[in-house]
Amino acid sequence: MKNFHLYAITGEEFHPRKDVIDVMEEALQGGADIIQLRDKTSKKPDVLKKALALRELTLKYDVPLIINDHIDIALQVGADGVHLGQDDLSLEEARRLMGPDKIIGISTHHIQEARAAQEGGADYIGVGPIFPTKSKKDVVAPVTTNYIKEVAAEITIPFVAIGGIKLHNVDEVLSAGATRVCMISEIVGSENVQQVCSQFREKLKPYQPVN
């Protein structure tokens, strides 16, 4: 799997007057190096339409496209992978459907879930929510940067910190041991998406491994 550091997830509720494809293109121009389509409200044909457009866009920028939940759509548009929640289908089932070469990520909120994800063959895990967030409904209480430290000390697959991460608090996340960060609202809800992404890239620079 190609390495990544700045993970941008769609969140159309944060930019009601802008098109999601345009917003993600701005993120890519600013240095986002992996994109996830996360759409919990649209009907399937609409999700498919967005997935197709994002597939074209991510191929142009040569970055992976991950689809949240909809494995069928991920397969249909030739996405690079899927992202699962703890309550979605199992890693085993997802792997069977996606095949050996696709990326499978899963959200984790506790070290036991992180261990299970690693043993179950996930390619990367989400680690969060680090701070309070309004972007994910029914998510557990913030796990704080302590959870990053636990994961960094033990888990060997890539992990990405998520949940309430902003330009003003990302330093705490990075100094706790994260080298990859993922945001919805701070990126897509900002006036200048490209600039915010460039600023995150600058913050990430000192923490990027040399691989």
Residues forming contacts to ligand 3NM in the complex (CB under 6 A) are 107, 126, 128-129, 133, 135-136, 139, 162-165, 183-186
User: Strands 181-183 and 34-37, how do they pair?
Assistant: unpaired
- Using alpha carbons, select from 189, 157, 159 the residue that is nearest to residue 174: 159
Query: Which residue has tokens 């913030």?
Result: 142
Least distance in Å: CB of 189 to ligand 3NM?
A: 8
Does 134 belong to an annotated binding site? yes
Q: Alpha-carbon distance 131 to 168, whole Å?
A: 12
Place of tokens 């179950």: 120
Residues in the chain: 211
Measured from the CB atom, the residue of 6 and 183 that comes closer to ligand 3NM is 183
CA 205 to chain centre: 19
Nearest CA-CA partner of 98 in 67, 74, 122: 74
The answer to the question of whether 80 is labelled as a binding residue is no
Catalytic residue among 38, 49, 115, 203: 38
Catalytically annotated residue among 50, 102, 107, 180 = 107
Query: Could you confirm whether 203 is annotated as catalytic?
Result: no
Catalytic residue among 50, 55, 102, 136: 136
Q: 136 an active-site residue?
A: yes
Cβ of residue 104: shortest distance to ligand 3NM, in angstroms?
15
Residues 89, 85, 38, 53, CA torsion sign: negative
Task: Name which of 81 and 128 has its Cβ closer to ligand 3NM.
Answer: 128
Q: Which residue is nearest to ligand 3NM (CB)?
A: 128
Are 104 and 122 in contact by the 8 Å Cβ rule? The answer is: yes
Question: Could you tell me the smallest distance in angstroms from the CB atom of residue 100 to ligand 3NM?
Answer: 25
The set of catalytic residues is: 38, 107, 136
Q: Which residues are annotated as a binding site for Mg(2+)?
A: 69, 88
Q: Which residues are annotated as a binding site?
A: 36-40, 68-69, 88, 107, 133-136, 164, 184-185
